[in-house]
Structure 1
C-alpha cells in the first residue's frame, strides 16, 4: 500500500487551514493543480472523508478532524528537524504560537522571551482555557497558558501559579466592601460569567452545585475587557483568577476564602513537541521566571 508523503500532508494541512485551493497554493508557493493532485492522492489513501467541498470553499469533514490534527503535529516535527539541520546553535528564525487565558499572568514571561529571541515570530491568541487546550491538542497552538484544577495528562505541563478565585464588581458594592467572601455570599447574586469553556467558571459552578448554591448568570462574556466593563457598570459580579484583575477607581476585587476554590495556571504543550527548540526556550524562560519570583516549581 502506498504511504502518505510530506507533499500530500503539506497540501492537506494548507487546504484545511485556508479553506480554499487557491489560498493553499499561494501559501505553499506551488500551483493550484499541484495542490489538487496532492490532496486527491491523499484522499485516495484514506478510509474516511477528509474534506467537504461547497463551491470554492472547503471545510474539514468531522470524521477527519483528528487526522488533520495529527498532520499538523507531524509537520511541526518535520519543521523542527529542518531547523536543527539548518542551524544547531541559535534560535534566529522560525515561529511559535502561544495562547493564554489570563494575559497579565503570562506577560512577564512573554516579555522576557521576546527580548531574548527578537528574531522569532511570535503569534498569540487569547481565549477560554478549554478552547485553548483543544487548540494545543489539535496542533493549532504550540503552547498555551491555561487554568486547570489539575494537570491534563495529555500534555507536558509546568505550573505557573496556584491562585484563589476572586470576585470583582462595581466600586462601592457593599458585598465587596467586606474584604473577603465565601461562595455562599454569591447565592442569587447577578453574575457576569465567562462562557462555559472557562476553567475558572467550571470550578466555581461545580463547587456551587455541590453546596446547593444558585449562581445567577445575567451575562456571559468571552473577553476580559467586556467582563471588566460589565462588572464596573454594575451589571453583575465577575470572576477571575486572583492577580488577573486589580482593584482601581471603578472596581473592587475580593478573593473567595474557601481553600477548595483555588485553581492552577499551567503552561502546556504536546509531549511530542516539548523538546522543539522554541518551545523548550519558552519553558526554560518560564522556569527561570518562577525560580526568581517564588522558587522552582516542578513539572506536572
Structure 2
C-alpha cells in the first residue's frame, strides 16, 4: 500500500468521481484509476461500485474513507504544528447545531478574531450531529444533552426547561399550564426520530407510565412550529429555543422534570486541530463567570 494510492482513493471518495479527483490532484484520470485499481488488487477488496455516470462506495470503501479522513487530518495537524508560527488561521470550520442561536455570539467573536476561516453552519437533530462529528463531516456540534460515549469533549452552554406550546385557538385561555398526564388527551406534534426533545418526552412518559404518541411527527424545529401554529396540536421545545409568535403561547409542564442542556462537542481525537482548538477557546472565554 502506497501513500499515492490512499490519496487517490480518498479524493475519489470525497469528490464522487475519478475525473474530479484527477482535477483536484492535477494528475491524469487514468493515473488516478490505476492507483485505485492497484489498491483494490493488492488487498483483494472492492472499494467502489462503478457505472458509466458515477461511482459509489462499497461498505469496505465507506470504512476506508472513515480511516483516511483521520489519516489525512493527522497529516494536516502535523503541517499546522510545523507552521504554528503563522499569525493568521485559515481554512474551513463546519458546525452542525440543533439550534444556531446557542452559538451566534461565539461565532461573531470567532469571525472577528479569525477572518480567514470560512464557517459553514448547518442544522440537524442529535443523532445527525453525532454522526457528522464521528464521520469527520463536521468539526463542531451543538446538541441537546451530553452525547453518549467517551469519544467526545464537551462544553456546557446552557440548561433550560422543556415547555409545551400551542395555537391560541386550540387551548382555552383559562388554561395556563399542563400536567404531564393531561397531554395524553391532546393531539401532540413531535420532532422526528433522533430528536433529543422527543426522546426526553418518551422517557418521561415511560417513567410516569403514561401512553403518549404523536399525532404528527415533523422533520425539524421550524416545521413543528408551523404545524403547531396551524392548530393541529401541541408542540414541545426548550424555553431558550422558543421564539415569540403571536399565533401561539407557551404552556409550562408543572409535574415533569424535563430540561435540555445544550452542549458543544467535538471528537476528542481532533482536539489538536487548530481551527477546533481556536473555536473552543473562544467558546470557553465567552461563557459567563460562575
Counterpart of 2:26? 29
In structure 2, relative to structure 1, the CA distance for the partners of 1:209 and 1:92 (3 Å cut) is same
Cα-to-partner distance string for 1:107-148 (whole Å, 9 max, x where unaligned): 222222122211111112211111110111011111111113
CA distance in 1, matches of 2:70, 2:122: 18
Cα-to-partner distance string for 1:252-291 (whole Å, 9 max, x where unaligned): 1234345642232211111111121110111111111213
In structure 2, relative to structure 1, the CA distance for the partners of 1:150 and 1:185 (3 Å cut) is farther
Asked if residue 108 in structure 1 is aligned to residue 105 in structure 2, the reply is yes
CA distance in 1, matches of 2:153, 2:173: 38
Structure 1 residues without counterparts, runs of 5 or longer: 296-300
Asked if residue 214 in structure 1 is aligned to residue 211 in structure 2, the reply is yes
CA distance in 1, matches of 2:186, 2:163: 15
- 1:186 pairs with 183, 188, 191, which one? 183
Cα-to-partner distance string for 1:168-188 (whole Å, 9 max, x where unaligned): 221354378644433223214
CA distance in 2, matches of 1:8, 1:176: 68
- In the TM superposition, 1:233-272 aligns within 5 A as 233-258=230-255, 260-272=257-269
Partner of 1:187: helix, strand, or coil?
helix
- 1:138 pairs with 135, 147, 160, which one? 135
Counterpart of 1:127? 124
Would you say how many aligned residue pairs link Structure 1 and Structure 2?
Answer: 290
- In the TM superposition, 1:86-101 aligns within 5 A as 86-101=83-98
CA distance in 1, matches of 2:66, 2:94: 15
CA distance in 1, matches of 2:98, 2:213: 23
Partner of 2:240: helix, strand, or coil?
coil
In structure 2, relative to structure 1, the CA distance for the partners of 1:245 and 1:141 (3 Å cut) is same
Counterpart of 1:200? 197
Partner of 1:159: helix, strand, or coil?
strand
CA distance in 2, matches of 1:16, 1:171: 51
CA RMSD of aligned residues (A): 2.4
What is the TM-score when the length of structure 1 is the normalising length? 0.86
- Give the Å deviation of 1:87: 4.7
